[in-house]
Amino acid sequence: MTENFSSTAAFIWSVADLLRGDFKQSQYGRIILPFTLLRRLECVLAPSKAKVLKEYDKRKESGLAIDGFLKKAAGLPFYNTSPMDLSALGETQILDNLDTYIRSFSSEARDIFEHFGFFGFLEKLDEANLLYLVVQKFATMDLSPKTLNNYHMGLVFEELIRRFAESSNETAGEHFTPRDIVRLTTALLFTTQQEKIAPGKIVTVYDPTAGTGGFLSEGEEYIHSISEQARVTVFGQELNPESYAICKGDMLVKGHEIQNIKLGNTLSDDQLTGQPFDFMLSNPPFGVDWKKVQKQVQAEHKNKGFAGRFGPGLPRVSDGSLLFLMHLMSKMRDPKEGGSRIGIILNGSPLFTGGAGSGESEIRRYILEHDLLEAIVALPTDMFYNTGIATYVWILSNNKIPERRGKVQLINATDMGEKMRKSLGSKRKYLTEDSIDAIVKQYGDFKPSETCKIFKTTDFGYRRITVERPLQLAFYPKDEIRLAALQADKGWAKLDASLQQAILDALARFEEEKVLSRTTFKKWLKVHMDDEKLPAPAFKLLQKHLGEHDEEAELCKAKGQAEPDPELRDYENVPLSENIRDYFQREVLPHVPNAWIDETKKDERDGQVGIVGYEIPFNRHFYKYVPPRPLEEIDADLDKVSQEIMGLLSEVHA
């Protein structure tokens, strides 16, 4: 059994046969997982049970805190003070006895069952007359440490979690990351890190969106596959109470300190504040807004700046994935102390959403200018349970090896997914072990190829310059359609009636149908208005409705300088490697000789002309042009199909 954890998990999951008909398929895991945990804890506590009960009887009337004494008696970070176990709950009062038994666990363990919502399911089992049968089946299972050590029991629990996720795949994607993606991300994160996870080293692993604990479990397993003697301490925080319970139960089963697993919203209530970690893994929700925590996040950004988690900037409220990335970056260990590495799964929007100066661009700018981004791997589509969109694994490090400094590696693995025999929700593809190994090898080799590109961090940066063209207006004082639009404007109605009439009379006196000078038009208008003054708002209305851009018109000037035309304003993104004036001379002036750069638009951080922006156009770097088929081939195919249709029609008529 120790070796074949999958068969053990299958045996445990066979309890579902008892539940079928009375419970939904998506509810099986909510019963089987806590019962498995309950039986495992019972088996683990069995050797010290008599000692704990004796210590409890001795001290329960003392009025003192006895928690420490009972844990010492158990030799574990949890205990149970009930003389009962699953095999001795009876049949007539089994619900009450089981409830008492579970509530006799120490708070750390009892908390897990409460967040599972387990007591509600026990009542439903009792109502369906299934509670006794389920209890008896679990009571016969040998889940003792002698039969299954912590590692193998962890694998059993992981397999049960996987089955639970598959059976409820309509929501599993929110809390469960497919194991092939977990495996790839952990492999990318830990490869080349042998020195950091050497025997005797204390290694900390953290997931701020822990879900059911897949990343934490796989991270620990991967470390131990490289270095069995490394001491791994895991930390996590999860928002969903049920996922938190599963994760906490999994960690308890494996012997971890479960107080390191926290419940709550990571963005608004970081319960591991100020604590750095060696390795961090996360699969934050894709495209989920952060309106619920907007007040707290914006307050931290404004009041703490770079002393807090969100100093670089804030993304748009519709997608909070970059907030989780900044949260992780804030927990990186000082490079002098070995630094930290991050593996995070993101959708495509963090690569390019937001122009220069936007929150997203500023976050990318911070990451790249601080040389934190090491690699991005593009995954095949249809890899997740609840979405088929394009996804990417980002690897970050603040302690890069020399040959990677100032560089970013892009790996295109979009064609490496294998089709699944049976889809699980939106998941239709998976990565084989060979594919994972090939991706990790490509990452480790760090050599350019058809599917691997290596760039300087500055290659993703640009300056957005504002290109202005002069305002040249022709005025049409007699155009009836324009005059009608002028008088229908709400601003016109606000003018005094005498001013309205004076303007209309003055326009009627113009002899020209078209005036190619704003200065001349305004001068003549004032002359024709006699003694009536022309306020600036009134002239703006006339310019809005009677004026039109005309290349032949005189330049409009203000304070002796050419006035820019807002309608013709344009922007150019100049690569950081280029001088903006050289670029402007080469790319803009040949097409619009009278254009100029608005030099008042400067970057807030470096004070230079042009707003700095960063984007990572991943797909553009791997785009392959496929020429269209020759027209002759298309015509031949159409003729063939036409003949087939005609043949079918002739058979019908016959």
Is residue 254 located within the same domain as residue 292? yes
What residue has token string 């020399």? 402
165 in Cβ contact with 18 (< 8 Å): no
Cβ proximity of 350 and 367 under 8 Å: no
337 and 484 in a single domain? The answer is: no
Residue-by-residue DSSP string for 439-477: HHHHHHHT--BTTEEEEEGGGGEEEEEEEE-B-BEEE-T
For residue 140, tell me if it sits in a domain.
Answer: yes
pLDDT score for 168: 61
Tell me, yes or no, whether 583 lies in a domain.
Answer: no
pLDDT digit string, tens, across residues 549-564: 999 999 999 888 999 9
Buried b (16+ CB within 10 A) or exposed e, 602-633: ebeeeeebbbbbbbbebeeebeeeeeeeeeee
DSSP 108-172: HHHHHHHHHTHHHHHHHHHHTT-HHHHHHHHHT----TTTS-HHHHHHHHHHHHHHHHHHTHHHH
| 336 and 449 fall within a common domain | yes
Q: How far apart are CA 456 and CA 465, in angstroms?
A: 22
**20 lies in the same domain as 157:** yes
In b/e form, how buried is each residue of 95-117, taking b as 16+ CB within 10 angstroms? Answer: bebbeebbebbbebbebbbebbe
Do 187 and 321 lie in one domain? The reply is yes
Find the length of the chain.
654
Answer with the one of 562, 595, 611 that is the final residue of a domain. 562
- Give 467's strand partners: 570, 597
Say if residue 116 is in the same domain as residue 174. Answer: no
Region 572-578: mean pLDDT is 95
Asked whether the beta carbons of 186 and 343 are under 8 A apart, the reply is yes
By CB atoms closer than 10 A (0-12, 13-18, 19+), residue 415 is exposed
Closest CA to 261 of 282, 285, 244: 244
Which amino acid is it at 538?
A: A
593 within some domain: no
In the numeric block, which tokens belong to residue 160?
Answer: 């049960």
Tell me the one-letter amino acid at 483.
Answer: L
601 inside domain: no
Q: CA-CA distance, 206 to 261, in Å (whole number)?
A: 10
Percent of the chain past pLDDT 70, that is, above it, reads: 97
Q: pLDDT, tens digit, for every residue of 6-25?
A: 788 889 999 999 999 899 88
Task: Look at residues 167, 195, 211 and tell me which one is the last residue of a structural domain.
Answer: 167
Main-chain dihedrals φ then ψ at residue 264, nearest 5 degrees:
150, 175
Mean pLDDT of 394-417: 95
CB 278, CB 340: distance < 8 Å: yes
Under a CB-based contact definition with an 8 Å cutoff, are residues 613 and 361 in contact?
yes
Please provide the average confidence, as pLDDT, over all residues in the chain. Answer: 90
Do 217 and 176 form a contact (C-beta atoms < 8 A)? no
Which range, of 90-99, 328-337, 476-485, 604-613, averages the lowest pLDDT?
90-99
578: left (phi over 0), alpha (psi -120 to 50) or beta: beta
- 176 and 94 in a single domain? The answer is no
CATH of residue 257: 3.40.50.150
Q: pLDDT band for position 171 (50/70/90)?
A: very low
**Hunting for tokens 């990451």 — which residue is that?**
367
In terms of domains, do 160 and 179 share one? Answer: no
**621 in any annotated domain:** no
- The whole-model pTM stands at 0.84
- Range 190-195 average pLDDT: 87
Asked if residue 245 and residue 149 are part of one domain, the reply reads no
Q: Mind listing the pLDDT tens digit for each residue in 495-540?
A: 999 999 999 999 999 989 999 999 999 999 998 887 789 999 999 9
Domain shared by 481 and 502, yes or no: yes
Q: Confirm whether 581 is domain-assigned.
A: no
- Does 120 lie in the same domain as 223? no
**Residue type for 403, please?**
E
Residue span of the structural domain in which 544 resides? 473-562
| Last residue within a domain, chosen from 139, 167, 195 | 167
Residue 573 belongs to some domain of the structure: no
Same domain? 176 vs 136: no
Would you tell me the crossing angle of helices 28-45 and 131-139 to the nearest 10 degrees? 40
pLDDT tens across 244-293, in order?
Answer: 888 888 888 777 888 899 999 999 999 999 899 999 999 998 878 899 99
Domain count, the chain: 3
Q: Does residue 611 lie within any of the structural domains?
A: no
Neighbours of 376 (CB within 10 A): 20
In 3D, which of 99, 100, 69, 67 has the Cα closest to residue 82? 100
Which pLDDT score, from 0 to 100, does residue 553 have? 95
Taking a C-beta distance cutoff of 8 angstroms, is the pair 618, 378 a contact?
yes
How far is the C-alpha of 324 from the C-alpha of 326, rounded, in Å? 5
